[in-house]
Structure 1
Amino acid sequence: MLRWQSPGERLLINFLISRKQVKEFQARVGNEQMDAVDKQWDMNVDVLVIGAGGCGLAAAIAAHDEGAQVAIVEKRDKPGGNTALSTGSIPGAGSRFQKAANIIDSPEIMIADLERIAGQHELSQVSDYLSRISAELCEWLVDSVPARMSLITDYCHVGHSVPRLHAPASRRGQDLMDDLLAGVAKRDIALAVGNPVQSLLTSSDGDVIGALIAGKGVESSRIKASKVILACNGFAANRDLVKEFCPEIAGAEYFGALGSQGEAVQWGRALGAGLANMAAYQGYAAVAYPHGSLLSWTTLEKGGVLVNSQGERFGNEDIGYSGYARLVLEQQTEVFAIFDDRIKTIADKEDEFRDLVELGGIKAAASTAELAALFNLPVDKLANTLASYNQAADGKAADRFGRNKFGLAPLQTKYWICRVTPGLFHTQGGLKIDTTGHVLRRDGSRIPNLFAGGGAAGGISGRAGAAGYASGNGLLTAIGLGYVSGRTAVQELGLNLAQ
């Protein structure tokens, strides 16, 4: 039966539940009507959440606070998903934190920003809706979960015209996950880890009515649920699905959560669900090699450049870390990020960046000659590249790649350099949904009782490719759709029991 975790136990110690212990589990989720349930079911809940990443935990908390009996099942032995690997950044347009910082913003400005970078796509209405509730979402996280987040005011992020990302001070998604897990624990929401879902269960009419859970080395469980929320991430770890839907990035190494195997897409297909924006993905152009940690894109936004093994630039770094990933992959050579000491001082505010410095992943040079010698780059070509770039940054010439935002450039000595590789982080396509997370059939009708969010649902980063990804899009759809679908599911049940 289910192997479940008391969310308050941070070491994630797991327990096995036998059929004799089902009533104990039922008491934990607050269900007093187990005896009335048909014998084919092992337990009964109002809302079953599949996946314990940011989307799943947000959905569970939102549903619980609306008055529902909620359970979460997670196939991995530890909650987290891509949220734990992210920077924990979520956009909120018009939040009270922006107002306190005298930043003028609105949902309409955010909608225009996201459309400018992503264009019109199959879930544009979802993108607009999430923009409209983004401030509410960030304030809910801080006030209700609660999560330790604040507005990043140092700079605008990729795709955003004003500072609107809210994140943990550390810029680590694990800190956001810790706060969400604490919120689950505080509410005594049941969380079962190490329990993959084998299949969704449906009625003769095609309504989703629960799920079949396969515990490790123990008997399977049938959970009856009035509403099911798919929060089990995308398909970026499934190489076959990546080749099918995102072939241009199939050759890149995957750096996201290993649980992103595409079950939601496969289950949805079987139920006749539509798919949306399946060729879109989020890449990252600057994963430190061989360390595997992210080189902060702040180093490029603030004026740094990327060069290949010939010491030459090969594109406009200003298009962002996601869109630039394909260009790095196409180089088929080593690639290096170069920035100066002023830019490093800004990036030093981020824990992961400081860790990378301590690990020796970023090296210093007092001159162009020293810089070239660190990785055996041709010094003359590198010097010409930096001179040409600095002229453009100084307004004395046009940049050959069209870059017009140069941050603190022209670059000055001393320099810093980091060897990088491109990576695939998560897919941005998935099940077709409406603005409240209902999964839609190919004809546009709803599959009754089924919701999806995060990587399980289609994303808001354009129809195809990586250039439509704006910073925070992943967590906006994960936490945002979790919040929306959790609340909507309970409202449809007519419970509204929250005090």
Structure 2
Amino acid sequence: MQALVQQLEEGQVWDLEVDVLVVGAGACGMAAAIAAHDAGAQVAILEKRERPGGNSSLSTGSVPGAGSRFQREAGIVDSPEVMVADLLRLSGEGELPQLTRRMAAISAELCEWLVDSVGARMALITDYCHVGHTIARLHAPVSRRGQDLVDDLLAAVATREIPLATNNPVQVLYLSAEGAVVGVAVGGAGVQTSRIGARSVILASNGFAANRELVKQHCGEIAGAEYFGALGSEGEAVLWGRALGARLANMQAYQGYAAVAYPHGSLLSWTTIEKGGVLVNARGERFGNEDLGYSAYARHVLAEDTNVYAVFDERIMTLASKEDEFRELVEHGGLKQAASAEELAALFKLPPQTLAATLAAFNEAAAGRAPDPQGRARFGMAPLTGRLWICRVTPGLFHTQGGLAVDTEGRVLREDGSVIAGLYAGGGAAAGISGRAGAGGYASGNGLLTAVGLGYLAGRDAAAKVRAGAAA
């Protein structure tokens, strides 16, 4: 088996040399390339899959920004300090506490950069605060589709004439005699092997959620769930990191999703639950507190080991219909409706009396007339009234939130805290800001914040080293 990391041979001749080489063409990789290019570096991007995008394409495209001008224009007062408090309330301190604070500190700048410099068609979401946030601070494409953000990043890459090669998997990282990463070998089935030298390599190759062995090893509680993320998330960064003696951090953290529409495979918008809907099992009973959010609640849905259904009313359905993916799910028959709980139960052969009793108890709690049997405190638009809607759902694993330990510029760290020269990481390749374990610490936008944020920081820092070297 070919070694993942190799010492550079004396007299090595490169097929190509660049200042900054980016491995992976999701939001992290493209943000890194754009930032490095705009700071004066010669950049190239390699993507192992046949198309760019990765998990970023499958997301809602949401990036939190605390204190952005878009918030100020909407009359919303926010700050990085408030954002940090929100994130830590959900996740607790992770293994890289300085990273959470750094991401919050640059979050507003980042959202403004995406709009102003990248040309991303994003706007502040003011309809509601999503999981983990007490203030409306998510900036996203109007469609709530990550593919739109990816398309805008791709357009920015093309405008800058940054080379982007798909179907080019990186197999090896090359090290200098001093231990710095100085290039890569690209190869694989049907790919001519080439060696590319670089002053800096930025790993934006996503996480390890598609690597079932790594998931079992680090995220065992969700290992039985189906994986719904990008197929390329196979954990190369973790494997390279191990070979390099890099520190790994927050490896048990992940983003789950409690309500993937079955059998369609698209996300049932969590707006349906957050705004007052509930999840019930095949017995027509609720089985936990939906306030936990779409990520943390996924393992509870998995543990039910029965069919699970989301139930909400017409008003909530209308609100969720602002999202393109939800409208498509409706158009493709992914939801059904009825005039009463009993009629709704008949659609999926649920016990009608049990479902009616479950919804009645929930409505009493939502109206403030009784405590909620499951401890829920936020009820959105509930009590549920009028026509009811139902969708069968299944839990899923979307991406991992652990990876290579990095500093606040995205530089990869060894176990002893020293920097591996020439190597950066971001997005799923790096440790995230969702805490140490499980899915409970995942706030909406955490994944894209560290993807775009660490890409932006790493690209600028790598370019600064090029300028410093040229000036020396």
- TM (norm. structure 2) is 0.96
Distance (Å, rounded) in 2 between the aligned partners of 1:151 and 1:478: 19
Partner of 1:179: 152
Confirm or deny: 8 A CA contact 2:94 2:435 kept in the other structure: yes
For residues 45-64 of structure 1, the aligned pairs below 5 Å read: 45-64=18-37
Shift of 1:219: 2.8
For residues 22-421 of structure 1, the aligned pairs below 5 Å read: 40-214=13-187, 216-421=189-394
SS in 2 for 1:82: helix
Confirm or deny: 8 A CA contact 1:432 1:457 kept in the other structure: yes
Residue deviations 1:248-277, cap 9 Å, x none?
100000000000000000001100000000
Shift of 1:38: 5.9
Distance (Å, rounded) in 2 between the aligned partners of 1:470 and 1:39: 46
Distance (Å, rounded) in 2 between the aligned partners of 1:134 and 1:200: 31
The verdict on how the C-alpha distance between 1:284 and 1:56 changes in structure 2, with shifts beyond 3 A counting, is same
Partner of 1:454: 427
Residue deviations 1:47-89, cap 9 Å, x none?
0000000100000000000000000000001001000000000
Distance (Å, rounded) in 1 between the aligned partners of 2:341 and 2:378: 23
The residue identity in structure 1 corresponding to 2:285 is: E
Distance (Å, rounded) in 2 between the aligned partners of 1:350 and 1:310: 30
Which residue of the other structure, out of 476, 481, 484, is the alignment partner of 2:454? 481
Distance (Å, rounded) in 1 between the aligned partners of 2:190 and 2:263: 37
Distance (Å, rounded) in 2 between the aligned partners of 1:188 and 1:494: 20
Residue deviations 1:451-470, cap 9 Å, x none?
00000000110100001000
Distance (Å, rounded) in 2 between the aligned partners of 1:101 and 1:55: 28
Distance (Å, rounded) in 2 between the aligned partners of 1:71 and 1:111: 34
Distance (Å, rounded) in 2 between the aligned partners of 1:111 and 1:496: 36
Shift of 1:328: 0.1
The verdict on how the C-alpha distance between 1:218 and 1:346 changes in structure 2, with shifts beyond 3 A counting, is closer
Distance (Å, rounded) in 1 between the aligned partners of 2:190 and 2:391: 45
Residue deviations 1:203-247, cap 9 Å, x none?
122110010011542431110000000000000000000001001
Confirm or deny: 8 A CA contact 1:67 1:496 kept in the other structure: no
The residue identity in structure 2 corresponding to 1:185 is: A
Distance (Å, rounded) in 1 between the aligned partners of 2:51 and 2:191: 18
> Which structure 1 residue ranges, 4+ long, deviate > 6 Å from structure 2?
none
Shift of 1:39: 5.8
Shift of 1:492: 2.0
Confirm or deny: 8 A CA contact 2:57 2:146 kept in the other structure: yes
Residue deviations 1:443-492, cap 9 Å, x none?
11000010000000001101000010000000001011000100011112
Residue deviations 1:77-115, cap 9 Å, x none?
100100000000000000000000001111000000000
The residue identity in structure 2 corresponding to 1:153 is: T
Distance (Å, rounded) in 1 between the aligned partners of 2:212 and 2:356: 40
Distance (Å, rounded) in 2 between the aligned partners of 1:285 and 1:211: 39
Which structure 2 segments of 5+ residues have no match? 1-9
Identity in percent: 70
Which structure 1 segments of 5+ residues have no match? 1-36
Q: How many residues align?
A: 461
Confirm or deny: 8 A CA contact 1:291 1:361 kept in the other structure: yes
Partner of 1:464: 437
Alignment pair present for 1:445 and 2:418:
yes
SS in 2 for 1:184: helix
Partner of 2:4: none
Confirm or deny: 8 A CA contact 2:67 2:79 kept in the other structure: yes
Confirm or deny: 8 A CA contact 1:490 1:496 kept in the other structure: no
Shift of 1:121: 1.1
SS in 2 for 1:144: helix
Distance (Å, rounded) in 2 between the aligned partners of 1:97 and 1:134: 12
Confirm or deny: 8 A CA contact 2:203 2:237 kept in the other structure: yes
Confirm or deny: 8 A CA contact 1:195 1:216 kept in the other structure: no
CA RMSD of aligned residues (A): 1.2
Residue deviations 1:98-146, cap 9 Å, x none?
0000011110000000000000110221011000100000000000011
Confirm or deny: 8 A CA contact 1:66 1:496 kept in the other structure: no
